[in-house]
Amino acid sequence: MVSTYISGLLLGFSLILAIGAQNAFVLKQGLLKQHVFWVCLVCALSDAVLICFGVFGFASILSQQVGLIQVMKYFGAAFLFIYGLRSFYNAYKSNSGLVASIQPTTTLAQTLMLCLSFSWLNPHVYLDTVVLLGSISAQYTDKVAFAAGAVSASFLFFFSLGFGARLLRPVFANPKAWKLLDGIIGVVMWMIALSLLR
């Protein structure tokens, strides 16, 4: 049981560590200290639901819904393109560092809607959590321990990223660092959007 849990944990970490739209959003919210707990919780719970879908047999159902995946692909690409454009605009217009950005610019509801969009509109998330983790879990007899390990990885990662981001706040007091982050986020969003359309 313990070895199966650790396998799920390590595989979960390996899939989630790559920088993506969701991770960039959590990092930015952590730097701004805006609704960090709720953002981390929504991301981790979303991953947990998708992981459980995959591990407990929903991968085969999802693989049959080709039309739904295509629709999500285009919605996801459009969403990421618009958010990336917004990041480029912020990088171009902003002349202030993190200190000027401390006041919340979005309500909790708006932030959670963005968070849910990053979590559910990206087909890559389904491929990683539902299809890949679901297919790998088939080789383990204790699926509950495997799923628990993968879910633990999501909770540990998102909460560490969200609340650990504050350690970088002195760096992002510099306007150039904040511009650079917005620019990098814009590039990441557009790269993921383009990969969805290929």
> How many domains is the chain partitioned into structurally?
1
In tens, the pLDDT along 87-143 reads 888 777 766 555 444 445 678 999 999 899 888 887 777 777 877 777 778 777 888
What pTM value is reported for the model? 0.73
Which residue in 164, 162, 185, 181 sits closest to 172, CA to CA? 181
* Continuous H helices in the chain: 2-16, 21-32, 36-53, 59-63, 66-93, 108-120, 123-126, 133-137, 143-164, 175-197
Please, which pLDDT band fits residue 75 given cuts at 50, 70 and 90? confident
Domain membership of residue 35 as a residue range: 2-197
End-to-end CA distance of the chain: 40
Structure-token match 């706040």, residue found: 169
pLDDT at 65: 66
Q: Is the pLDDT of residue 78 over 70?
A: yes
Please, which pLDDT band fits residue 152 given cuts at 50, 70 and 90? very high
* Average confidence score pLDDT of the chain: 81
